[in-house]
């Protein structure tokens, strides 16, 4: 039996691993990205974002207090949209990290053979 992999087998297996890695990002990651975009759109419809940014303090140390105060003094829908935006963004980052870890692990396994 021949233990050396042919060029075609190596290329096909790389594509299989790539498709497997992209499966993470395409399924739930894309859904989360869609939620992220829709939540940002909702925030833009409810809040005049330019005025919030214009009213923000110039001092970096006061910035966190300003945004916490702005968050607590908005309506419930804006607070829910902001939290939904943050959760979906964290989920997208997690899915991208998982896909990259899978790709790098597969490349390491291919290099060893």
**Residue-wise burial string across 16-40, b where 16 or more C-beta atoms lie within 10 A, e elsewhere:** ebeeebeebbeeebeebbebbeebb
Of 75, 39, 96, the residue nearest 104 (C-alpha) = 96
The pTM score is: 0.67
What is the predicted pLDDT for the residue at 111? Answer: 65
Is residue 27 within 8 Å of 20, Cβ to Cβ? no
Q: 2 in a domain, yes or no?
A: no
Range of the structural domain that residue 74 is part of: 7-112
> How many domains, in total, are found in the chain?
1
The answer to whether position 89 is within a domain reads yes
Average predicted confidence (pLDDT) for the chain = 86
Evaluate whether residue 1 is within a structural domain. no
Report residue 40: phi and psi, to 5°: -65, -40
25 band by pLDDT with thresholds 50, 70 and 90:
low
31-42 confidence digits (pLDDT tens): 888 899 999 999
């Amino acid at each position: 039996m021949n233990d050396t992999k042919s060029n075609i087998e190596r290329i096909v297996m790389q594509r299989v691993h790539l498709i497997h890695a992209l499966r993470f990002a395409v399924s739930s990651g894309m859904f989360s990205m869609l939620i992220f975009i829709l939540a940002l759109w909702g925030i833009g419809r409810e809040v005049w974002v330019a005025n919030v940014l214009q009213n923000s303090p110039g001092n970096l140390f006061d910035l966190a207090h300003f945004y916490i105060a702005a968050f607590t003094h908005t309506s419930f829908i804006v607070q829910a949209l902001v939290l939904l935006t943050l959760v979906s963004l964290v989920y997208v980052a997690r899915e991208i990290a998982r896909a990259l870890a899978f790709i790098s692990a597969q490349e390491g396994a291919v290099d060893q053979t």
